[in-house]
């Protein structure tokens, strides 16, 4: 740890024209160093070997017909044609769309509503405890979640018992075997997992809204609804983007739930892209189709992320390659704002949890 004298020296050094110029530019602080390459070497190497290379190899695989065992045949774009023409695979993407409603749209709406309701009370005792409990589903392993919900949905399971108990016998059904209800049933598990996350996210976002805004609005005679749409919602746009990104990706990537709960059935009603990738590559030996499917899925994840973060971006996103701008806006989330506060931040501030992270996010 530097001495006080050192800190003052740094303060003085910070005033030289060179540093000032550097601070204004968007580049990272510090002087040029070739050493940096050594520091990033392990990360970049493992990244290139286990993410970059396989991705390129997937692209290669996707042009071949291969059973994973013998030799392969070049088939051009036939695998991609299959992805878009095979009813089961097309169905899988449609199911993913339905899951987005359950994984993302409903939890985000519920989370917003719940958080906004709670924020009307200035201070609620015990809110911290509820936050911990409601967030819990997010950390439980998916396999455990799937086993629990498989029981809940059983023909004689708690859900049907509850329905029969309140006289709604007509609604009781074999949820996971029902052609209409199997997919929503799987989706509802996603809702259960995601709602707590969204709630906690929005709670954090709304806590930063200045109280005076609400007081002013109330003086203007605004009701809860107008308050929500004119103040609350615009203020948590960033959190909204994060929540949507996380939940939409989770919906598109659903695998464990389907693997454990339904194996894609009844019929193919709960077949989802990830499960089809696995099934084609490792069960029925259509590796090329699986690779094409995986790449299409990846592309969809990218596009969804960019679109969502365009929405969350408030128009002054940092420059850069257009494709990454949205993602950058999400991921950096203003951490990279010119560090005007940094030089004056007392070092003590850094000892409180996340001061560094939250510091950049205050508006």
Rounded distance, CA 60 to CA 323, Å? Answer: 23
Question: Which range of residues in 76-84, 90-98, 229-237, 317-325 is near another protein by CB under 8 A?
Answer: 317-325
Q: Which residues pair with 64 in a beta bridge?
A: 74
Binds another protein by CB under 8 A, chosen from 104, 153, 235, 308: 153
Binding residues for another protein restricted to 203-222, rule: CB under 8 A: 204
Answer yes or no whether residue 168 interacts with another protein by CB under 8 A: no
Binds another protein by CB under 8 A, chosen from 90, 109, 210, 282: 282
**273 CB-near residues (< 8 Å, 6+ apart):** 89, 92, 93, 96, 252, 293, 296, 297
351: number of Cβ within 10 Å: 8
Question: Which range of residues in 69-77, 79-87, 100-108, 228-236 is near another protein by CB under 8 A?
Answer: 69-77
Rounded distance, CA 300 to CA 74, Å? Answer: 25
Answer yes or no whether residue 78 interacts with another protein by CB under 8 A: no
Answer yes or no whether residue 77 interacts with another protein by CB under 8 A: no
For residue 12, the minimal CB distance to another protein (Å) is 10
For residue 47, the minimal CB distance to another protein (Å) is 5
| CA-to-CA dists, residue 357 to 25, 162, 203, 335, 345, angstroms | 20, 45, 17, 7, 13
Answer yes or no whether residue 169 interacts with another protein by CB under 8 A: no
For residue 81, the minimal CB distance to another protein (Å) is 18
Rounded distance, CA 224 to CA 44, Å? Answer: 50
Give me the DSSP letters along 40-102. Answer: HHHHHHHHIIIIIHHHHHHHHHTTEE--SSS--EE-TTHHHHHHHH-HHHHHHHHHHHHHHII
Answer yes or no whether residue 316 interacts with another protein by CB under 8 A: no
Task: Give, for 122, the enclosing helix (H) or strand (E).
Answer: none
Question: Which range of residues in 79-87, 97-105, 144-152, 228-236 is near another protein by CB under 8 A?
Answer: 144-152
Answer yes or no whether residue 124 interacts with another protein by CB under 8 A: yes
Largest CA distance in the chain: 78
Binding residues for another protein restricted to 91-110, rule: CB under 8 A: none
Rounded distance, CA 311 to CA 85, Å? Answer: 32
Answer yes or no whether residue 339 interacts with another protein by CB under 8 A: yes
For residue 331, the minimal CB distance to another protein (Å) is 6
Question: Which range of residues in 98-106, 132-140, 163-171, 225-233 is near another protein by CB under 8 A?
Answer: 132-140
Question: Which range of residues in 76-84, 91-99, 137-145, 228-236 is near another protein by CB under 8 A?
Answer: 137-145
Rounded distance, CA 5 to CA 12, Å? Answer: 11
For residue 326, the minimal CB distance to another protein (Å) is 11
What is the number of residues in the chain?
363
Give phi and psi for 106, each to the nearest 5.
-65, -50
DSSP structure class, residue 348: G
Answer yes or no whether residue 347 interacts with another protein by CB under 8 A: yes
Rounded distance, CA 71 to CA 275, Å? Answer: 25
Binds another protein by CB under 8 A, chosen from 16, 67, 307, 311: 67
171: number of Cβ within 10 Å: 13
For residue 39, the minimal CB distance to another protein (Å) is 4
Binding residues for another protein restricted to 239-278, rule: CB under 8 A: 239, 242, 245-246, 249, 252-253, 255-256, 259-260, 262-268, 273-274, 277-278
């Amino acid at each position: 740890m530097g001495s006080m004298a050192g800190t003052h020296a740094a303060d003085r050094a910070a005033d030289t024209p060179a540093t000032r110029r550097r601070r204004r530019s968007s580049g990272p602080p510090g002087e040029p160093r070739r050493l940096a390459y050594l520091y990033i070497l392990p990360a970049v190497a493992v990244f290139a070997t286990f993410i970059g290379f396989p991705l390129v190899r997937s692209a290669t695989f996707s042009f071949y017909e291969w059973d994973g065992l013998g030799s392969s045949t070049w088939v051009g774009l036939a695998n991609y044609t299959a992805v878009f023409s095979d009813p089961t695979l097309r169905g899988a993407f449609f199911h993913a769309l339905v899951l987005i409603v359950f994984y993302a749209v409903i939890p985000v709406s519920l989370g917003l509503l719940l958080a906004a309701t709670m924020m009307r009370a200035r201070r609620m005792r015990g809110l911290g405890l509820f936050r911990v409990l409601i967030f819990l589903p997010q950390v439980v392993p998916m396999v455990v979640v799937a086993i629990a919900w498989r029981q809940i949905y059983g023909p004689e399971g708690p859900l049907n018992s509850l329905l029969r108990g309140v006289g709604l016998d007509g609604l009781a059904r074999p949820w996971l075997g029902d052609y209409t209800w199997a997919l929503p049933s799987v989706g509802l598990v996603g809702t259960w997992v995601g709602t707590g996350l969204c709630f906690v996210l929005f709670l954090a976002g709304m806590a930063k809204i200045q109280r005076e805004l609400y007081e002013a609005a109330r003086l203007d005679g605004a009701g809860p609804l107008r308050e929500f749409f004119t103040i609350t919602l615009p203020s948590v746009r960033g959190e909204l983007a994060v929540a949507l990104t996380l939940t939409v990706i989770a919906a598109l990537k659903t695998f464990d739930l389907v693997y454990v709960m339904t194996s894609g059935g009844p019929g193919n009603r709960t077949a989802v892209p990830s499960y089809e990738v696995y099934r084609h590559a490792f069960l029925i030996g259509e590796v090329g189709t699986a690779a094409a499917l995986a790449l299409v899925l990846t592309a969809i994840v990218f596009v969804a992320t960019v679109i969502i973060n365009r929405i969350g971006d408030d128009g002054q996103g940092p420059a850069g390659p257009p494709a990454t701008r949205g993602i950058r806006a999400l991921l950096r989330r203003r951490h990279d704002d010119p560090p005007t506060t940094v030089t004056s931040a007392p070092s003590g501030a850094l000892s409180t949890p996340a001061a560094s992270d939250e510091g950049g996010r205050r508006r």
